[in-house]
Amino acid sequence: MTCQVKVLPSGHTFAVEDHETILDAALRHSVGLPYGCRDGACGACKGKVVEGQIEQGAHQAKALSEQEAAQGLALFCCAKPQGDVTIEVREVTGVGDIQIKTLPCRVESIEKVHDVAILKLKLPVSERLQFRAGQYIDILMRDGKKRSFSIANAPHDDAFIELHIRNQPGGSFSEYVFNTMKEREIMRFKGPMGTFFLREDSDKPIIFIASGTGFAPIKGIIEHAIYSGINRPMVMYWGARTKADLYMAELAGSWQQQLPGFSFIPVLSEALPEDNWVGRTGFVHQAVLDDFDDLSGYQVYACGAPVMVEAAHTSFTGSRGLPEDEFFSDAFFLSKDMKGANPS
């Protein structure tokens, strides 16, 4: 049975087949519903069911509570319509303009910096991946599973696709990358995915907040801003445990000379004695709270560990007055088939 979905307030409509979730069908029809993990964990695709019935698939309670579900909210990444439905959700402009492809790629280089592997993937000569800075791709594994990683380069610098992969103990893919993967190896991927990218129709100052390899998509966004001459005031907070975990700190610091109005603030939570650290310490979201009493006129882009993203969202939209629709996030989950900085 084919069902029709109508999206408010845009009025867009699209068909959903039996095997599809609402988000799957929206992507197929190039309708820009917001989303992140696509597995019921992050809550980015949350919206309201105005008319009709849906079957809500498995999800994490923190992404959709029982109270929210009772109020008619749903996670469209794991919801299937039970007949025609009308939903209400804030669409993302332009996300449907770029085609999602499945492509082969060759491992061009593997550079290991501390416990992060920086992969550069080469596409066939006849292919080019169009994407927005900050989006991600799914690496398609031979066992049918997928591992999702943010694209760390900007769209103009597309000779290779750059990925940052942390070595997670016990993680089958990350251990493969560190111990077995060879240059010139052939893989397949699907992308680009995600709605974590710079909203260029705004002139508000920006706060970027990253933890660990959450730095990767923010790197792509900032390099895009430099290339495009976007001169909005920007400050990037990068949280890590030790100094070595700031695996590209020198590059991040160099942006202060390339981009007017840009500041880089590294924050360590577990600095070692040998780090001789004299910079900021503690939780990275707390550093933002210490520096800003009022975020009502800002946009925030947060990427990394879910606990950091959730703490930042709660505190920034609560005590600091950040508008809900000016908080953009990409939480890295560690579940087996989810996007993550340290996927297993």
pLDDT digits (tens, 9 = 90+) for 171-210: 888 999 999 999 999 999 999 999 999 999 999 999 999 9
- 226 pLDDT exceeds 90? yes
Query: How confident is the model at residue 332, as a pLDDT?
Result: 78
- For residue 184, being part of any structural domain is answered with yes
Domain count, the chain: 3
Task: Single out the residue in 193, 214, 231 at which a domain terminates.
Answer: 193
pLDDT tens-place string over residues 248-264: 999 999 999 999 899 99
pLDDT tens-place string over residues 142-152: 888 899 999 99
210 and 300, same domain (yes or no):
yes
Please report, in angstroms and rounded to a whole number, the separation of the first and last CA atoms in the chain.
36
User: How many C-beta atoms lie closer than 10 Å to residue 246's C-beta?
Assistant: 23
Helix (H, G, I), strand (E, B) or coil at 26: helix
- Let me know: does 43 contact 104? Beta carbons within 8 Å: no
151 and 173, same domain (yes or no):
yes
147 and 243, same domain (yes or no):
no
186 and 264, same domain (yes or no):
no
220 and 325, same domain (yes or no):
yes
Domain residues for 180?
99-193
Task: Single out the residue in 53, 68, 95 at which a domain terminates.
Answer: 95
- 137 pLDDT exceeds 90? yes
DSSP string, 31-100: -----SSSSSSS-TTEEEEEES-EEE-S--TTTS-HHHHHTTEEEGGGEEESSSEEEE--PPTTGGGS--
104 and 91, same domain (yes or no):
no
Report the alpha-carbon distance of residue 1 to residue 8 in Å, rounded. Answer: 23
Helix (H, G, I), strand (E, B) or coil at 301: strand
- For residue 115, being part of any structural domain is answered with yes
Query: How confident is the model at residue 334, as a pLDDT?
Result: 56
Q: With a threshold of 0.75, does the pTM exceed it?
A: yes
Mean per-residue pLDDT of the chain = 92
280 and 263, same domain (yes or no):
yes
16 and 79, same domain (yes or no):
yes
- Let me know: does 248 contact 292? Beta carbons within 8 Å: no
- For residue 201, being part of any structural domain is answered with no
State which amino acid sits at residue 272: L
Report the alpha-carbon distance of residue 181 to residue 173 in Å, rounded. Answer: 10
- 128 pLDDT exceeds 70? yes
91 and 25, same domain (yes or no):
yes
- 16 pLDDT exceeds 90? yes
Show Cβ contacts of residue 155 under 8 Å, excluding neighbours closer than 6 positions. 130, 131, 132, 133, 224
Task: Single out the residue in 44, 60, 95 at which a domain terminates.
Answer: 95
- For residue 344, being part of any structural domain is answered with no
CATH number, position 280: 3.40.50.80
- For residue 7, being part of any structural domain is answered with yes
185 and 170, same domain (yes or no):
yes
163 and 222, same domain (yes or no):
no
- For residue 26, being part of any structural domain is answered with yes
Report the alpha-carbon distance of residue 54 to residue 73 in Å, rounded. Answer: 10
- For residue 341, being part of any structural domain is answered with no
pLDDT tens-place string over residues 165-178: 999 888 888 999 99
Between the alpha carbon of residue 115 and those of residues 37, 168, 172, 242, 305, the distances in Å are 24, 8, 15, 12, 16
Query: What is the 3-state composition of the chain as percent helix, strand, coil, each rounded to the nearest 5?
Result: 25, 30, 45
Residues 338, 245, 210, 196: is their CA dihedral positive or negative? negative
Model confidence band, residue 37 (pLDDT cutoffs 50, 70, 90)? confident
CATH number, position 13: 3.10.20.30
CATH number, position 119: 2.40.30.10
pLDDT tens-place string over residues 279-307: 999 999 999 999 999 999 999 999 999 99
- For residue 336, being part of any structural domain is answered with no
Residues 216, 218, 224, 227: is their CA dihedral positive or negative? negative
52 and 120, same domain (yes or no):
no
